Structure 1
């Protein structure tokens, strides 16, 4: 899941006008932090399944927290 998000954001970065690149990088950093925060609070062995509008498959975030 993270690899897919990284790939999508990298495509945005590659095509963004130079003036917007910093804003895109900030958004990328914020998204990475949020995904890691969600995984950190989910119990290990659990999975959060998220459907995004228009997506053909859900995103899965796997828990990393120890009970």
Structure 2
């Protein structure tokens, strides 16, 4: 698990060459999204072909994806 800004990113393999990254807040609070306006205890990325690619998707989601 890595910490990026105020979030934890954990990578998981789901099947052969199918990776996702799970985003949670470091303080344990729910993650709020802008569109649609909602709250979640965690968010998963779409599947990627490598752990590094899944982590990159998570970082992009945090930086540009409307996660607060």
Structure 1 length-normalised TM: 0.29
| Higher strand proportion (structure 1 or 2) | 2
Higher helix share: 1
- Between Structure 1 and Structure 2, whose CA radius of gyration is higher? 1
